[in-house]
Amino acid sequence: MPRHKTYVPHGVIPAVLLPFDADLAIDEASFRKHLRDVAATDRITGLTINAHSTEVASCTFEEQRRVLAITQDEIGGRLPIVNGVWADGSLEAARIARMAADGGSSALLVFPPAPFTLGQSPQMAIAHFRRIADVTDLPIIVFQYPLSTGQGYPKDTLLKLIDEVPSIRAIKDWIGNVPHHEWHVRTLQSLPRPVNVLSTHSAWLLSSLVLGCNGLLSGSGSVIPDLQSQLFGAVRNNDLAEARALNDRIEPLMRVFYADPFVDMHNRMKEALVLLGRLPRAYVRPPLVKIGRPEIARIRDGLIAAGLLGKDAARDAA
């Protein structure tokens, strides 16, 4: 299977959505089209699957394997595939990692185990990542949660992790704290073996990128991969005027996507793709429920403000 063996996670890596049909089975035809749509974006450097954006918590192991197989079939020869590793136990995480490697993934996005909400030690974190690294040498992206969740890794733990697990090559940074985020950028990207910081602070992406992140990995890239790619390029080129203009288009939509409750962010993105005519429907799996028409109207307004939808072309989400 195609694999981009020299891949180091960097640049713009959209996390795609996973469409379902009315029976809440995977809508494979719509998923294939969605993959092709996002993959056609200039200057993106990979796609992420089996993550928050694909509602991985509600997907079985076999469904995750099928999502990878479809993605490999559609875009595996063109772009690296980052496969999420979502598991509460380290043995299951290793099983998913092995499946991802066998399926042709180019990197792994490792979510923190839920038991860490009750407390963690550096030894626990290292043991979890070692289990994964023992079954594959694929590059690992550490998903760095806010410390307030209990699942985020304190600075010392993160540095020990990087030292003990050489296949860690990036973090997906959701720390939610600007000075701590800047510490990640300054410290991790300057290590003897650099670890790239991929921002997922989509609600304040311009502010995050100007600190010097070497990439971004975001579910909102499923809707605006082109704007994210252009913004990342403008920041890298030190074109602040262009970056601000792009951010002015992005901000109204991010305000809608990342409203409370935060858990509905990808639910809202599905509705946005329906409004844009890129998906036929916006079904989500429980415990998520379909959002109501007032919120869909706000999403429509955000798309119009972003210049993605004309007022006359807007239509109701199905």
Both tokens of residue 108?
């792994």
- Span 174-191, average pLDDT: 98
pLDDT at 311: 82
- Give 76-118 pLDDT, tens digit per residue: 999 999 999 999 999 999 999 999 999 999 999 999 999 999 9
**What's phi and psi for 113, nearest 5 deg?**
-65, 140
Q: What value does the CA radius of gyration of the chain take, rounded to a whole number of Å?
A: 19
The Cα–Cα gap between 208 and 182 comes to 8
- Give 225-282 pLDDT, tens digit per residue: 999 999 999 999 999 999 999 999 999 999 999 999 999 999 999 999 999 999 999 9
Residue type, 43: R
Structural domains in the chain, sorted by start: 11-239 (3.20.20.70)
- Span 159-183, average pLDDT: 98
The Cα–Cα gap between 224 and 206 comes to 14
pLDDT at 266: 97
Rounded percentage of the chain residues whose pLDDT exceeds 90: 96
pLDDT at 257: 98
- Give 31-76 pLDDT, tens digit per residue: 999 999 999 999 999 999 999 999 999 999 999 999 999 999 999 9
Nearest to 57 by CA among 91, 79, 85, 82: 85
The overall average pLDDT reported for the chain is 96
Distances (CA, A) of 309 to 1, 216, 266, 267, 280: 38, 25, 19, 19, 16
- Give 54-64 pLDDT, tens digit per residue: 999 999 999 99
The Cα–Cα gap between 105 and 250 comes to 30
CB-count exposure of residue 252 (10 Å: 0-12, 13-18, 19+):
middle
pLDDT at 316: 47
Rounded percentage of the chain residues whose pLDDT exceeds 70: 97
Pairwise pLDDT comparison (115 vs 2), residue with the higher score: 115
HSE (CB half, 13 Å, CA atoms) of 12?
26
The Cα–Cα gap between 36 and 18 comes to 13
pLDDT at 312: 75
Q: Tell me the β-bridge partners of 26.
A: 20
pLDDT at 151: 98
pLDDT at 313: 60
pLDDT at 3: 67
pLDDT at 175: 98
pLDDT at 6: 82
Residue type, 205: L
Model confidence, pTM: 0.96
- Give 127-155 pLDDT, tens digit per residue: 999 999 999 999 999 999 999 999 999 99
pLDDT at 318: 43
pLDDT at residue 1 tops 80 = no
Count the Cβ atoms, other than its own, within 10 Å of residue 232: 24
Helix (H, G, I), strand (E, B) or coil at 26: strand
The Cα–Cα gap between 101 and 83 comes to 9
